[in-house]
């Protein structure tokens, strides 16, 4: 009913707006003296000590949150992180030892493939932890420790706030691990947490650009194909952005590591094909811009998300969305909100109901 939607036309847009609060609710109780603190979650420090590698198992959007976690943790902590789709993990020979940490990520906590993958992982290590949004759910109960995300109930089938909160929780976990493994100094960790705490404000600022996003999706509603490109953390985000668009607008969307496009898929770039490019990572910024030029030269309609205040060279893109300047690692939280809004307004612009995409269920308890 309209009342439950708080005056928003759909649950999805309501939930997009709820992200700052959801992140605050999730991280605030887990920060003490500016450092990550999991005592209320009853996770002993020994759980983090001596971890040699991490495996993340999940499905769908939760798996894409895992991809963000993987890239960020590997860059920061220099320990190997693998993300495996739960339905694949179950039928592979896991390479895990006692010192492997396994993170199961699930909004519902009931996805059967993730649960079975977790059960298999538990045979190899006592260091399983779940990032779950539903209290008392099966995945939370069966993992050694549960870190609840406090996104609140997510009604829209396409996940938004559950994803950003999973990412935020992953950042907290990474910081804790960084301290335990001696990969992050206390000063580094404090700085990191301080930035994490300011993420909700930056997301607010990005949500304020919703009407600009609505405008630009007019170019997308008649598209058959779209491409999302980025490098590093931006690439992990474009996977989620493409999924979101496919799920609720039924437009074919493909996410590509920006440097990989020319090895084939660029053949599909034709006049007017929308390319959503995310370029927030300084160390690969100029590389991504070159890749954008490649698609622009082939007629793509380029929507660029970056932390530049302005793009002076308008031969690069057709539309630029400027994101607030934050340390590179934290730009994902801003950029994904734009990608969620692109999917939402494209769906609405096509006259679809974004809350109830065809053929999809909120929680999948069949294999």
Beta strands 128-132; 100-106: pairing state? parallel
Q: Which is nearer to ligand G6P, 46 or 359 (CB)?
A: 359
85 binds ligand G6P (CB under 6 A): no
Q: Is 157 in the site for ligand G6P (CB under 6 A)?
A: yes
Nearest to ligand G6P of 66, 178 (CB atom): 66
224 three-state secondary structure: coil
Integer CA distances (angstroms), 161 to 10, 199, 359, in order:
14, 13, 21
How far, in Å, CA of 167 to CA of 66, rounded? Answer: 8
Residue 152 φ/ψ, nearest 5 degrees: 80, 175
Q: Is 114 a residue that touches ligand G6P (CB under 6 A)?
A: yes
Least separation in angstroms between residue 234's CB and ligand G6P is: 20
Contacts 24+ apart (CB under 8 A), 7-12: 9/348, 10/156, 10/344, 10/348, 10/353, 10/354, 10/355, 11/155, 11/156, 11/355, 12/156, 12/158, 12/160, 12/248, 12/340, 12/344, 12/354, 12/355
Q: Which of 43, 59, 174, 289 binds ligand G6P (CB under 6 A)?
A: 59
The residue count for binding ligand G6P (CB under 6 A) is 16
Does residue 222 contact residue 268 with C-beta atoms inside 8 Å? no
Q: Which is nearer to ligand G6P, 250 or 285 (CB)?
A: 250
**Looking up tokens 């929507």, which residue turns up?**
303
159 near ligand G6P (CB under 6 A):
yes
Residue 244's φ and ψ, nearest 5 degrees, are -55, -45
**229 lines the binding site for ligand G6P (CB under 6 A):** no
- The nearer residue to ligand G6P, 231 or 244, going by C-beta atoms, is 244
* Residue closer to ligand G6P (CB basis): 350 or 362: 362
Nearest residue to ligand G6P, by Cβ distance, number only: 60
Q: Among 26, 55, 71, 107, which residue sits at the site for ligand G6P (rule: CB under 6 A)?
A: 107
340 binds ligand G6P (CB under 6 A): no
Q: Is 102 helix (H, G, I), strand (E, B) or coil?
A: strand
Q: Which residue among 111, 130, 238, 280 contacts ligand G6P (CB under 6 A)?
A: 111
Does position 62 interact with ligand G6P (CB under 6 A)? The reply is: yes
Neighbouring CB atoms inside 10 A of 286's CB total: 10
Tokens representing 230 are 């980025």
Of the candidate spans 102-110, 215-223, 230-238, 266-274, the one that interacts with ligand G6P by CB under 6 A turns out to be: 102-110
Helix-helix angle 161-180:186-207, to 10 degrees: 170
Cβ-based nearer residue to ligand G6P, 59 or 140: 59
Residue 35 in contact with ligand G6P, rule: CB under 6 A: no
Closer of 139 and 331 to ligand G6P (Cβ)? 139
First CA to last CA distance, the chain: 32
Least CB distance from residue 248 to ligand G6P, whole Å? Answer: 11
Give min distance, CB of 153 to ligand G6P, in A: 12
Q: Does position 108 bind ligand G6P by CB under 6 A?
A: yes
Q: Residues interacting with ligand G6P, by CB under 6 A?
A: 59-62, 106-108, 111, 114, 157, 159, 360-364
């Amino acid at each position: 009913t309209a009342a439950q939607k708080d005056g928003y036309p759909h649950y999805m847009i309501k939930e997009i707006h709820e992200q700052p609060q959801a992140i605050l609710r999730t991280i605030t109780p887990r920060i003490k003296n500016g450092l990550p603190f999991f005592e209320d979650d009853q996770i002993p420090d020994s759980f983090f000590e001596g971890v040699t590698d991490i495996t993340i198992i999940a499905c769908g959007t939760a798996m894409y949150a895992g991809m963000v976690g993987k890239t960020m943790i590997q860059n920061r902590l220099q320990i190997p992180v693998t993300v495996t789709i739960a339905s694949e993990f179950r039928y592979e020979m896991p390479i895990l030892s006692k010192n492997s940490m396994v993170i199961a990520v699930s909004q519902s906590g009931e996805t059967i493939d993730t649960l079975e993958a977790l059960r298999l992982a538990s045979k190899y290590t006592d260091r399983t932890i779940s990032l779950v949004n539903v209290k008392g759910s099966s995945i939370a109960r069966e993992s050694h420790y549960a870190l609840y995300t406090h996104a609140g109930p997510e009604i829209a089938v396409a996940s938004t706030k559950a994803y950003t909160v999973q990412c935020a929780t992953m950042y907290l976990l990474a910081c804790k691990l960084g301290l335990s493994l001696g990969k992050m100094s206390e000063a580094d960790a404090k700085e990191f947490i301080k930035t994490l705490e300011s993420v909700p404000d930056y997301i607010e600022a990005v949500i304020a650009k919703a009407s600009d996003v609505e405008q630009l999706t007019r170019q997308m509603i008649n598209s058959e194909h779209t491409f999302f490109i980025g490098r590093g953390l931006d690439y992990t985000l474009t996977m989620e952005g493409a999924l979101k668009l496919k799920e609720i607008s039924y437009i074919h969307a493909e996410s590509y590591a920006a440097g990989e496009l020319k090895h084939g898929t660029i053949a599909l770039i034709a006049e007017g094909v929308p390319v959503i490019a995310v370029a927030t990572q300084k160390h690969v910024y100029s590389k991504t811009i070159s890749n954008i030029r490649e698609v622009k030269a082939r007629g793509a309609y380029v929507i660029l998300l970056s932390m530049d205040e302005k793009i002076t060279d308008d031969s690069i893109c057709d539309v630029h969305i400027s994101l607030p300047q934050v340390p590179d690692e934290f730009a994902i939280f801003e950029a994904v909100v734009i990608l969620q809004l692109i999917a939402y307004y494209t769906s609405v612009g096509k006259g679809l109901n974004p809350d109830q995409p065809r053929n999809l269920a909120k929680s999948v308890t069949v294999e």
